[in-house]
Homo-oligomer: A and B are copies of this chain.
Amino acid sequence: MSSADALAPLPETDVTTAIAERAAALRYQDLSPDAVTVAGQCLLDWFAVTIAGAAEPLTRILVEEAREEGGNAQASLIGAGRGTLAQAALINGAASHALDYDDVHQAMKGHPTVPLVPAILALGESLGASGQDLITAFVAGYETECRIGLLVAPGHYGRGFHATATIGCFGAAAASANLLGLDAEATARALGIVGTQAAGLKSQFGTMCKPLHAGHAAASGLQAASLARRGFTSRADILEAEQGFADTHSDDFEAEAALAPAPEGFFVRGNLFKYHAACYLTHSTIEALAGLKREHDLDPALVAAVTLEVDPGHLKVCHIEEPATGLEVKFSLRHTAAMALSGIDTANPETYTDAVAGRSDLVALRRRVDVRPTGGPLTLATAALEMKDGRRLESSLDVGIPAADLAAQGARLRTKFESLVVPLLGAEASDALLADLVVPADLDDVNRLTRLLSNWTV
């Protein structure tokens, strides 16, 4: 257990202070090797999805706004030159969530990395922070997000709040506070300043506002830490106060869960990456079927019938039976199943075209897929194949279980990175950035990362 987690749990009423103390106290030497490794993988993955999201229309709109506004060149706007800290946090945050291809954590019930990195990368550039500083701040923010996520679960997300925004902003504040070297008292104020601005509704899913939430969480967290450093006042118990954050945003207040030790010492160890550019609930199906195909070298033409057993939640979210467009394919269990069995690259966002939706072999195969609701976690799928030669094959896969083999996880992420980044930056620039991102804790100065991108404009 790290020194940060070794702090004894405090009474319920001091949960803000307890969380602030941990975030403020965290040092690089407190981190487990696994925590450092996964944090670095989060950073690598963040660069991949952000570079890929930089050309999205919503990102371009935010860049236009920033251009009109002007400002000092404090930090990098990925793919768009430089801008202020606030612009970098907002724009890079929105870009990184634009494709919804960034990582998740089940304790936070949201996307942990996209509110954090945009804030601390911008701040780190302006401070000339090292890779170790960045990793430490990242983990401080990450643990904060998961603890606050557990504090208000399940009522918070259930009521309609988008935790990436409403919990992510606390993480961004804590991470920025750690990077600025704030003490626990100032960090608690930063949590208060950001907590009274926490906002974001799930009912905006499917609009440009969803990625905007991530950008706002990053920007408001960074601003809160900066204001706290300057002595801006706030109550220091925003989480547990009467009519504070938890009271106004959830029916639940689980202080014990929030302050309990994290599994394996750090929540970041349980980070879940996305490897398919489709709805997250299709991933267990894709992985189960891709595994069977790999293992048995299946010919998709020989598949007679596919039965998928998934949580009933899937049927409402990703069960477009006859998708006609690339976008609809992303929300079609049947079509993504056919793609996985056919060996199509589901990692590349460019794969999801209208043409692939209408490909006759895939349409024929998806019509042999039967989706059945069953119990079980949302992240689990069980796939059963009947082959024309009479064989029956079955596989269950739960994408909610963190990878046991971090080296294998790193290899998969490098493949994803190259798939997203090489088409945009070219192989040489992609390789150079990847080389620095493989062990980001070795970086003397995080400006090295953004300098490699400074010549790239979308």
Q: Which residues of A contact B (CB under 8 A)?
A: 57-58, 61-62, 64-65, 68-72, 74, 84-86, 159-162, 192-193, 195-204, 206-209, 212-213, 216, 223, 226-227, 230-235, 238, 241-245, 247-248
- Chain B residues in 8 Å Cβ range of A193: 209, 212
Cβ-defined contact, A248 with B159, below 8 A: yes
- Chain B residues in 8 Å Cβ range of A208: 232-234
> How near does chain B come to A349, taking the closest CB pair, in angstroms?
19
> How near does chain B come to A71, taking the closest CB pair, in angstroms?
4
**Please, which residue of chain B has its CB at the minimum distance from the CB of A57?**
B231
**Please, which residue of chain B has its CB at the minimum distance from the CB of A160?**
B243
- Chain B residues in 8 Å Cβ range of A65: 223, 226-227, 230
A227 touches which of B61, B196, B206 (Cβ 8 Å): B61
For this complex, 13 residue pairs linking A to B, each with C-beta atoms less than 8 Å apart, are A64-B230, A65-B227, A69-B71, A69-B86, A160-B243, A192-B204, A195-B201, A196-B213, A201-B248, A207-B233, A207-B235, A208-B233, A209-B233
Known: A69-B71, A192-B204, A209-B234; 14 extra A-B contacts, CB below 8 A, are A58-B232, A61-B231, A69-B85, A70-B71, A71-B71, A159-B243, A192-B207, A193-B209, A196-B199, A196-B209, A201-B248, A203-B241, A206-B235, A209-B235
Q: What CA separation (Å) do A207 and B227 show in the bound complex?
A: 13
- Chain B residues in 8 Å Cβ range of A85: 69
> How near does chain B come to A200, taking the closest CB pair, in angstroms?
6
- Chain B residues in 8 Å Cβ range of A71: 69-72, 84
- Chain B residues in 8 Å Cβ range of A199: 196-199
Chain A to chain B: the 8 pairs with minimum beta-carbon distance, closest first: A160-B243, A70-B72, A199-B199, A71-B71, A203-B243, A160-B248, A208-B233, A69-B84
- Chain B residues in 8 Å Cβ range of A247: 160
For A160, A200, A204, A227, the residue with the greatest tally of chain B CB atoms inside 10 Å of its CB is A204
> How near does chain B come to A189, taking the closest CB pair, in angstroms?
9
Given contacts A160-B243, A199-B197, A199-B198, whether A207 and B234 have CB atoms under 8 Å apart is yes
Cβ-defined contact, A202 with B159, below 8 A: no
- Chain B residues in 8 Å Cβ range of A198: 199
- Chain B residues in 8 Å Cβ range of A62: 227
- Chain B residues in 8 Å Cβ range of A195: 201
For A201, A206, A213, the residue with the greatest tally of chain B CB atoms inside 10 Å of its CB is A201
Cβ-defined contact, B244 with A203, below 8 A: yes
- Chain B residues in 8 Å Cβ range of A212: 193, 196, 232
Cβ-defined contact, B242 with A203, below 8 A: yes
**Please, which residue of chain B has its CB at the minimum distance from the CB of A204?**
B196
Q: What CA separation (Å) do A212 and B197 show in the bound complex?
A: 10
Q: What CA separation (Å) do A195 and B162 show in the bound complex?
A: 13
Q: What CA separation (Å) do A235 and B202 show in the bound complex?
A: 11
Q: What CA separation (Å) do A206 and B236 show in the bound complex?
A: 12
- Chain B residues in 8 Å Cβ range of A242: 160, 203
Q: What CA separation (Å) do A86 and B62 show in the bound complex?
A: 13
